[in-house]
Amino acid sequence: MTISREDIEKVAVLARIRVDDEQVSALESDLGNILDLVDQLSAADTDNVEPMAHPLNAVQRLRPDEITETNQREAFQAIAPATENGLYLVPRVIE
């Protein structure tokens, strides 16, 4: 698959990047090679291949979901500048 000079220039404008004329010809070659590789991957026969959720089929070990700290809400509210009914009061920042 090939990519045209116009496509590269259009993408450069959309991406808001400046691409010189010599860069365009280099990009045309490089992007063409990348698209050729994608075409080769697309042509691979994957009909009898079962999809994997993870390439290593690894299982993540999780720690138990247990409470490890005591409730310190009263202590934190005691040192807060302003609280009311168990809530922290903060200055208004939006008019």
Q: Please write the tens of the pLDDT for every residue from 14-48.
A: 999 999 988 998 899 899 999 999 999 999 998 88
- The predicted-structure confidence for 12-22, as pLDDT tens digits, reads as follows 999 999 999 88
pLDDT of residue 14: 95
Distances (CA, A) of 18 to 4, 5, 21, 22, 26: 17, 14, 10, 12, 14
CATH fold for domain 5-42: Histone, subunit A (1.10.20)
> How would you classify residue 23: left for phi > 0, otherwise alpha for psi between -120 and 50, otherwise beta?
alpha
Q: What percent of the chain has pLDDT over 90?
A: 57
Domain residues of the chain, as ranges?
5-42
Q: Note the pTM of the prediction, 2 decimals.
A: 0.48
pLDDT confidence bin for 85, thresholds 50/70/90: very high
Contacts of 1 (CB under 8 A, 6+ apart): 32, 35, 36, 38, 39
Tokens representing 43 are 């042509």
